Chain A
Amino acid sequence: MALRDDFPILKREVNGYPLIYLDNAATTQKPQVVLDAMNEYYTSSNSNVHRAVHTLAGEATEGYESCRTQLKEWFNAERAVITSGTTEAINLVAHAWGRANLKEGDAIVLTEMEHHSDIVPWQMLAEERGIELRYVPVMEDFTLDMEVYAASLTNAKLVCVVHTSNVLGVRNPLEDITKLAHENGALVLIDAAQGVPHERIDFKESKADFMAFSAHKMCGPTGIGALLIQPDVFETMQPFMGGGDMIETVTVNGSTYQTNEHKFEAGTPRIAEAIGWCAAFDWMSSLDLREEHQRLVGIARWVAQQLREMDISVYGRHEAGDSAVVSFLHPTIQSEDLAHLLDSRGIAVRTGHHCAQPLLHRLGISGTVRASFYLYNTMDEAELFIEQMKYITGRFG
């Protein structure tokens, strides 16, 4: 598989075995072009962005702003604020939009499927402002209860929903969710951290008002992400973090702010990371993401079936639009023990609550083992994973 050659880390061994990296829902590996782009920036162009006339500053600014251009093109968006990641992007909405537009008695609709990053900022705001939080339950088939959702929209000003669950891999019916929310006068925030790696999303067409995601889950660097905002909503937001770069003028009596995305990007931004993310977009643009996604879901479905045949509980359904995540629990081998045993054979999986404790509470469990597949994973690796699972369960189960 030629694509794998682009990822130097995949050539390494772990505990004497070839690395099989199945922790992609946590973070993905980076192709050489991303590493080269960041190295080239630090080697040849390192400088701070904006407000300088020298050549290096110009190159750094061009590199940083080209990330924004790339984001707008890739997602068909008019406004793209560069953040430190999905978490900061959601917190930005809570502070910059929520504080300016929500008042006591308003309601925010969340789902039990949300990552903590899409729960905690709202709990903090709710406590501060006297806002009601309503949670849409997850049903036994791992989907959202859309009847409860529809009923929860009265007086709701915002709906926050995860595009694809990081535990279940289930893709939510965002089109229906957004339509219903808008019909009831609520805006929609999509946590697309697990969605953008698998699906080329047209933000304008999605009609969502906000969309948050991170670079590192789609072959880009850690520490950078974005918040896409529809232009009319953008105008209703107030800056919340003050500092350099976000101002227009500063006097001892007060300040005025930039009117574009810079007003939400106080301080020196993540320049090398933005340049690295651009390289990741370039690299991904050569792939047929839809075809790759189908291949990966096929692998996940096969793995899930194999695990079920071993009497292992699997959480998720692995339908066509879902992500390639397989969460499971062995009846007798404790999850962390299992993960350590897999690691001893070079296989990287994740265990724990995956920052989604309300979902796990609904499922009646405290954690899972999670194997998640991405572009460079192969069916051969999936077969080796199952082979080791059979060996480990036979020896330790």
Chain B
Amino acid sequence: MTYPADLAELIEEFQEVEDKMERLEMVFDMADEVIPFPADQWSAISKVQGCQSEAHVKVELQDGKVLLLSGADAKLVQGLMGILSIAINGSAPAQALLLSPDFAEEMGILNSLSPSRSNGFRNMFDKVMKEIRVLE
């Protein structure tokens, strides 16, 4: 699959790193890319099911473009949210919906996470896509 330039570059960067701790640290760093979704606004509706830790997302349209707000208590989850933000923020909904969750696997992130966390990522991805579909 062809990815947006920013994401394609990120995938390449991850693929170059063999050490798992370094790769985890790179995911942690991606937490900075998150547009914060304040914890006081977290609710049962915003909660991502299937994550071992608390994770919440909310999708808005700003000038017709996708804006993902997200928050989590684990840095690793925040990092995964940051990567998803890079992939979809600023895109038209129709374009964002073309994104495949396979990018996380191509980055070697899913391999470096526990199955429950990987499922959590997939659940987060599916929830975000569902919200975009509603807004489209």
Asked if A336 CB lies within 8 Å of chain B CBs, one says: yes
Are A396 and B25 in contact (CB-based, < 8 A)? yes
Residue of A nearest to B72 (CB): A334
Interface residues in A11-25 by Cβ distance below 8 A to B read 15-16
Q: Give the Cβ gap from A365 to chain B, nearest Cβ, in Å.
A: 13
Cα distance A388–B5 when bound, in Å? Answer: 37
Are A336 and B24 in contact (CB-based, < 8 A)? no
Asked if B94 CB lies within 8 Å of chain A CBs, one says: no
Asked if B75 CB lies within 8 Å of chain A CBs, one says: yes
Asked if B14 CB lies within 8 Å of chain A CBs, one says: no
Q: Which residues of B contact A15 (CB under 8 A)?
A: 20
- Our pick among B19, B21, B25, B73 for the contact of A334 (Cβ within 8 Å) is B73
Interface residues in B14-33 by Cβ distance below 8 A to A read 19-21, 24-25, 28
Q: Give the Cβ gap from B119 to chain A, nearest Cβ, in Å.
A: 14
Q: A336-B52, A396-B28 are in contact. Are A345 and B74 (CB under 8 A)?
A: no
- Interface residue total, chain A, C-beta cutoff 8 A: 15
Asked if A266 CB lies within 8 Å of chain B CBs, one says: no
Q: Give the Cβ gap from A391 to chain B, nearest Cβ, in Å.
A: 9
Are A340 and B76 in contact (CB-based, < 8 A)? yes
Q: Which residues of B contact A334 (CB under 8 A)?
A: 53, 73-76
Q: Give the Cβ gap from B39 to chain A, nearest Cβ, in Å.
A: 14
Asked if B135 CB lies within 8 Å of chain A CBs, one says: no
- Our pick among B21, B73, B74, B75 for the contact of A344 (Cβ within 8 Å) is B21
Q: Which residues of B contact A177 (CB under 8 A)?
A: none
Cα distance A336–B52 when bound, in Å? Answer: 8
Q: Give the Cβ gap from A18 to chain B, nearest Cβ, in Å.
A: 15
Enumerate 16 A-B pairs (CB-CB under 8 Å) in ascending A order.
Answer: A15-B20, A334-B75, A336-B74, A336-B117, A337-B24, A337-B74, A337-B75, A340-B76, A340-B112, A340-B114, A340-B117, A343-B20, A344-B20, A344-B24, A395-B25, A396-B25
